[in-house]
Structure 1
Amino acid sequence: MLRLFNAFSFFGDVVGRADRHAVVRHLPRLRGDLGLDAVVINAENAAGGFGITQSTADELFEAGADVLTLGNHSFDQAQGIRVIENEPRLLRPCNYPQGQVPGRGAGLFNVKGYNLLVINVHGRVFMDALDDPFVAVERELNAAPLGDVADAVLVDMHAEATSEKNAMGYFCDGRASLVVGTHQHVPTADARILPDGTAYQTDAGMCGDYNSIIGMQTEEPLRRFTTRMRGGRFEPATGDGTLCGVFVQTNARGLADRIEPIRVGGQLAKQVPVV
């Protein structure tokens, strides 16, 4: 172990402009109040609800994010391809075909003198059939083992099926500090520490306006559910955003001593106080 990496947070999918602004408004205070050594944010919906751009990535980095992860909307914005190629702090899923897709799926980041390994991986159940996520994560864990090369390891499992996310948690147990799910945009109530010391939550939830249908204005999703007809594109909801994520404290082995949900601002924070 190189040094004690004490506390970090992960925040779920940021959906659109209003919710980027919520990150800008709340994150600087949270970093100080919680004594965070690092912050990782899933930003795959940051640009108009779909994908990433240079300006949206810059806005989140300037607000206090150290690393951004993506998901199935990684390449939805044409200009986002260049950002994914050139920005080392921006990760797309590691199980895209190796050598054929721009960007990186994992990175070892020096943050405040600590080595933080971040792995972004894409599920396959009810999702696009990318390469095996378990093989891909195994490769990245072996490249920078916890307690040897990495002071802390965070795995963002971007997946639809809760069972697949749960399986990834146990697959990484004892080898990662945190395995956390994204993509579903709804925070789950199962934050816990697994038997061998890995913190786990099935879905972190979104950083978004919860007066919506998973971050989108309700009219178009309702039309599609009730009529099976498309009337336009999905548009991000623009109300007050809630920041949803998890707070993790680690021990000298880089494993978790504590995991707590974070919910700040907007509707959900009225029910669940900040850590």
Structure 2
Amino acid sequence: NGENAAHGAGITEEIADEILSSGVDLITGGNHTFDKRTSWDFLDRKPFVLRPANFPSGTPGKGYEILERQGLTIAVLNIQGRVDLVPIDSPFDAALKLIDEISGKTKNIVLDFHAEATSEKKAMGFFLDGKVSAVLGTHTHVQTADERILPGGTAYITDVGMCGVENSIIGLDKEIALKRFLTLLPWAFQPAEGKVVVDYVVLDIDDSGKAVSIKREKWREP
């Protein structure tokens, strides 16, 4: 998920190209995807940079892409929650619509569910259990320890975590973030500097599109 790749908010075409050229196959988005005005112009040209599928019709970009690697196909869906975020179209309806559209093309379907509330993420996991290979939560920047395979064969985790500076407050300069909490003054956020951590999960999906395992991992910069 690269919605905060541009200095902590939004994403630009230049940064998207840099990420993709480094070996990343696809970039998902979220509520900050359009924080940079320039992102309004390039998403329609970049099939491997997604924005949430349940944004209003007419919004630049798209909400899913099907990747083909080494003879295998996998669909990546991007959907945003509504609880404590903007009141966009139902993420549950959007998920079913996309799955119906995609299921004839591939059995391997992974959802990046960008949402605030753990309850909404849990609900999406059980709602799609058996319909997708994995429901992976993003948005809070904090990796959760609840990864599991749901009864219907869908891998689930409430939040994958973040790629950012470890000694920070969800990637932001901790001193500035503390000033905001202690004074209630709107100090401008700044990305933290220092050694980074990369949170991620490893999925094993069988030939039927069911998840066999999910393992959360964390890489720390030496």
User: Smaller-chain TM-score range?
Assistant: over 0.9
Letter in 1 for 2:112: D
CA contact (8 A) 1:207 1:244 kept: yes
Q: Distance in 1 between matches of 2:107 and 2:221?
A: 34
Q: Which residue of structure 2 lines up, in the alignment, with residue 270 of structure 1?
A: none
CA contact (8 A) 1:244 1:262 kept: yes
Task: Measure how far apart 1:113 and its partner are.
Answer: 2.4
The answer for the alignment partner of 1:190 in structure 2 is 146
Q: Take 2:207 and 2:68, find their aligned partners in 1: how far apart are those partners?
A: 17
State whether residues 210 and 266 of structure 1, in contact with CA within 8 Å, keep that contact through their aligned partners in structure 2. no
Q: Are residue 234 (structure 1) and residue 189 (structure 2) matched?
A: yes
Equivalence for 2:75: 117
**Identity value in percent:** 43
Q: Which of 177, 191, 208 is matched with 2:164 structurally?
A: 208
Q: CA deviation at 1:112?
A: 2.6
1:57 to 4, 16, 19: 16
The CA distance in 1 between the partners of 2:152 and 2:85, in whole Å, is 29
Name the counterpart of 1:169: 125
Q: How far, CA to CA, are the matches of 1:229 and 1:264 in structure 2?
A: 34
| Distance in 1, Cα, partners of 2:166 & 2:196 | 7
Q: Which runs of 4+ in 1 moved over 3 A?
A: none
Residue 47 of structure 1 corresponds to 6
Retained in 2: the 8 A contact 1:166–1:202?
yes
Q: Secondary structure of the residue that 2:165 maps to in structure 1? A: coil
Give the match for residue 53 of structure 2: 94
Letter of the 1:75 counterpart:
F
CA distance in 1, matches of 2:113, 2:203: 16
Q: Which amino acid aligns with 1:111?
A: R
Output aligned runs, 1:1-275, within 5 Å: 42-98=1-57, 100-145=58-103, 148-231=104-187, 233-266=188-221
TM-score by length of 1: 0.78
Unaligned 5+ segments in structure 2 are none
- In the alignment of these two chains, the number of paired residues is 222
AA partner of residue 52 (structure 1): I
Looking at structure 2, the residues matched to 256 and 61 of structure 1 have their Cα atoms a distance apart, in angstroms, of 26
Q: Deviations over 1:73-100 (max 9, x none)?
A: 01011111222121001110011112x2
In structure 1, stretches of 5+ residues that fail to align are 1-41, 268-275
How far is 1:181 from its partner? 0.5
Which protein, 1 or 2, shows the higher relative CO under an 8 Å CA cutoff with sep ≥ 6?
A: 1
1:266 offset after TM fit, Å? 3.8
Letter in 1 for 2:139: H
Asked if 2 retains the 8 angstrom alpha-carbon contact of 1:209 and 1:266, the reply is no
Q: TM-score, normalised by structure 2?
A: 0.96
Greater CA drift, 197-206 or 105-114: 105-114
Task: Output the amino acid matched with 2:97.
Answer: R
The root-mean-square deviation of aligned C-alpha atoms, in Å, is: 1.2
Q: C-alpha distance in 2, partners of 1:141/1:256?
A: 16
Matched position secondary structure for 2:212: strand
